[in-house]
Amino acid sequence: MEAYVTLTVENEVGFIEFFHPNRNSMPSDVLSLLEQTIIDASKNENVKVIVLKSGGDRTFCAGASFNELIGIENETCGKQFFMGFANVINAMRKCPKLIIGRVQGKSVGGGVGLAAATDYCLATKYASIKLSEISIGIGPFVIEPAVSRKMGVTAMSQMTIDAETFFSTEFAKDKGLYAEVFETVGDLDEAVKILAEKLAGYNPEALIEMKKVFWKGTENWDVLLSERAEISGKLVLSKFTKMVLKRFI
C-alpha cells in the first residue's frame, strides 16, 4: 500500500487519516500533506469537529522516517525536515476546531507529539508510547512543548531519559495524554464517533472560544518550534546519529 492522507466528512465530523506502509512513519511529503489537510479541514464549513487517526491496526505513528533522516546532508535540509513536525503541530494548535485523537496502537517520537497536540485523546490498551530520540543522538526538541504541555515536564523527562522503553498505556493515561483507554479498536471507534458527533452538535462559537483558552500561552510556538527544528537539524548530521541510523536501514 502507498502512503496517503485523507479527509472524510461524516455527520459534520472531519476524519483525517494518515498512513505509511512503514509503521505509519512520517516522511516529509506525508507531514506536508497532513499539515495541509488539517488547514483545509479548519476552513471547511461542513466540518465542526476533527478526528485525527492513522491507518492500520498496530501502530499509530512510528515518528520520523529514518530512511529520510539518514539522507540529510546539511543543516538547511535538516531543519526543513523537522519543520514538518513543527508545522503539523502548529496547524493543530491554530485550528479553530477541536481535534480528537484516535490512537489505536504504539506511538514513537513524533507520533507521541501528534497525540499530545490533540485537544482530547482516546486510545486502546495497546497504545504504549516511547520517546527514543536521545538514543539516536537527537532529542525530542520539536515535540517537547506539546508533550510537556499535556503530560508535564517530569513525565516528558522520564520518557526522554529512558529512551529505549515503551511506557504503558496506563502511564500515558495517568499523566494526561489519554483521556480514556479501551479494550478494542472497535470500542475505541465507537467512543470516538459518539464523542465527536456530540461535540459537533454543540455551539460552534463556544467551541472556538474554548479552543483559544486551551492553547493560551502557546502564541510563541511558531518561533519556538522553528528554533527547536534547527537544533534537531544540526544534531542529525552528527557522526553519532549517522552511525546509529545506519543500523536501522
- Average pLDDT over the chain, rounded to whole? 97
Q: What is the pLDDT of residues 101-114, one digit of tens each?
A: 999 999 999 999 99
Q: What is the pLDDT of residue 1?
A: 84
Q: What is the pLDDT of residue 185?
A: 97
What are the domain boundaries of the chain? Answer: 4-200
4-200 CATH fold: 2-enoyl-CoA Hydratase; Chain A, domain 1 (3.90.226)
Long-range Cβ contacts of 210-213 (<8 Å, 24+ apart): 210/98, 211/95, 211/96, 211/97, 211/98, 211/119
Q: What is the pLDDT of residue 188?
A: 98
CB atoms within 10 A of CB 52: 28
Element (H, E) at 7: strand 4-10
- What is the C-alpha separation between 101 and 119, in angstroms, rounded? 8
Kindly state the cell numbers that stand for 104: 489505536
pLDDT at position 247 over 90: no
pLDDT at position 79 over 80: yes
What is the pLDDT confidence band of residue 249, given thresholds at 50, 70 and 90? Answer: low
The stretch 62-80 carries a mean pLDDT of: 94
Give DSSP secondary structure letters for 106-121.
EEETHHHHHHHTSSEE
Q: Whole-model pTM above 0.85?
A: yes
Q: What is the pLDDT of residue 179?
A: 98
Element (H, E) at 135: none
The stretch 2-17 carries a mean pLDDT of: 98
- What is the C-alpha separation between 184 and 125, in angstroms, rounded? 8
Kindly tell me the burial class for residue 136, based on how many C-beta atoms sit within 10 Å of its own C-beta (0-12, 13-18, 19 or more). Answer: buried
